Structure 1
Amino acid sequence: MAKSYRLAELADLLDARLDGDANCLISGLANLDRAQENQISFLSSAKYAASLSECLASAVVLKPSEADAFTGNKLLSEEPYLCYAKLSRLFETRRKRQVGIHPSAVIEEGVTLGANVAIGPHCHVGAGAVIGDDVELYAGVSVGDEAKVGARSILFSNVVIYHQVELGCDVIIHANATIGADGFGFAPSADGWQKIHQIGRVLIGDRVEVGANTTIDRGAIEDTVIADGVIIDDQVHVAHNVSVGEGSAIAGCTGIAGSTDIGKQCQIAGGVGINGHISIADGTYFHGGTVVTKGNKVAGQFASASPLLDIPQWRKASVRYKQLDELFNRVKQLEKQLNEK
């Protein structure tokens, strides 16, 4: 059964100013155009303000400067979107796993289990692994030998944690992610590719979230390191020996080649490709689809790839792109002739 909160309680939680009925009960969270009685909504962008006139929510979180746009109960904050994030935790629908070890799980010798762990069906925990307090392992999770999973972490179904990988506290890893597989290391020889065995680890800090089907490779010699507070979306690939600085965010379908250092508080949009053996400055932002071929020492916003064109325009632009070198040389020649005159 959903829990209800008095509006005054929510105001205290959000550090927001209450304008309205303190005893109004709130039992859900919804968008402005879908919200109903006993639900709370939020206005995080002025472009959605027109929806307020028809909003049926029992309360809305919005900025003080926009308070007059809604006649009902409201919580006033300069950061409505942050308030939304905090509210979402209260109304989350995920059920915690039942504490205990499912009969079908396999726990090898020498495993250290913390208090109140929940290990679901068909999980495997390897020899010498350490599972911290209040950890939840959903069905089919595999934790390798001597790996460590920090307190209050949640590993969803079919997550694979290889040997000696270390996860900090409050880590969330979504379904089918693989942490600690071998990096792509091979040496050419007359007999074909000679495998370079990857003897580093993956070290993941506290409060990190990793999306579904994401892969983070172990280091070749040194460790792959994901610092505290990093968030990584679905279907991201992080190659061996990469380091990602504290608080950085990486969106879906990004690929990061080996031995790249990404600074703190960076934002990497979807579909970005980052070359190996380069360094990215703290606070850098890469626009979606950017191809990063070299590092940067100063923070900035960067983009590459052409914008969307219809097919006839794209064909013309492609032809002209191939003519750039010829046009450049012609311009240089014309400039030379002008200078001589």
Structure 2
Amino acid sequence: MDLDVVIVGGGQSGLATAWHLVRLNRRREVPLTFEVLDDRSRAGGAWQDGWPSLELFSPAAYSSLPGWPMPPWRGPGNPSAAHVRDYLTAYEQRYDLPVRRPVAVTGVSGIGDPSGPLVVHASDGDRQAGVVVNATGSWRRPFWPTVPGMRDFAGTQRHTADYTGPTAYDGLRVLVVGGGNSGAQIAADLLPVARELTWATQRTPRYLPDDVDGRALFEAATAAVAGQGGGVGSLGDIVAVPSVRHARDELGLHAAPMPDRLTASGVRWADGTERAFDAVIWCTGFRPALGHLRGVARPNGGVVSPDDERVLFVGYGDWCGPASATLIGVGRSAKDAAARAAAVLDG
């Protein structure tokens, strides 16, 4: 099968790129042929894995992909992960985007060799492509830190990617590790049900002002590109969504220092203090899921790999542009990738 463009990943980044290719094709005499390969069995990207209380940082009106606003959210707070999943599913159907699933991409050959096409190796067969757009995100590659004693701990250890809600932790002694949004939200989720909840962070949590949400984050990132601010990092690390504010202000949620090591029955801090725990949840982030590229150089603030102009990236945060890993922010790098793909193919 020969295609002009293959997009790897059918979550928000892949769908936004596909939408821009559809829009671009309306202006072309010869449309670009393309398809989206997604390794999941259904639409919705990583949002279908979110725990029940997970919500966006922004209202629906400020959480949309290009072309079609997210439908209004009728529940409390901001839209839930399930609402985002349903939106992405409807978005894919609305524009009849050519998504093939479940198709796992295992490799791409021909990178760095302009004499031949790129070959995308996938679970349903190989495809030749003029351009490959990588939009795989990071959810499939959770980062587990190396902490002494992890192998000795007799309780359960899970990562954010495995967390499905508080029910399994009812009455348990739980340690939540991580000072970002996931750590704060999961700690807030567990505080009412756990027998004992400890939230451990490497440094004192930096909450954004309570009136700051995803809109302000996107604006801060955009201003930083124009040299008019310090970017999102200058605002803080944790968006104080309603559940986190409630846990902090009403339930006494506060952070403890990181433990020095795990023991068979719990954890030990550097000062010798020990405490027993039944479970540890590592909210320690993710890394880009790019195993199929095997070390291909990433972009630096754009969408093009330094190794090959035919290899593009969308949705990997600052690699691809400010806020590119968000619903509202991915449209810019998706548009750049679609335009770049057309320019490469037109020679």
TM-score computed with the length of structure 2 as normaliser: 0.20
> Which structure has more RCO (C-alpha within 8 Å, separation ≥ 6)?
2
* Greater C-alpha Rg: 1
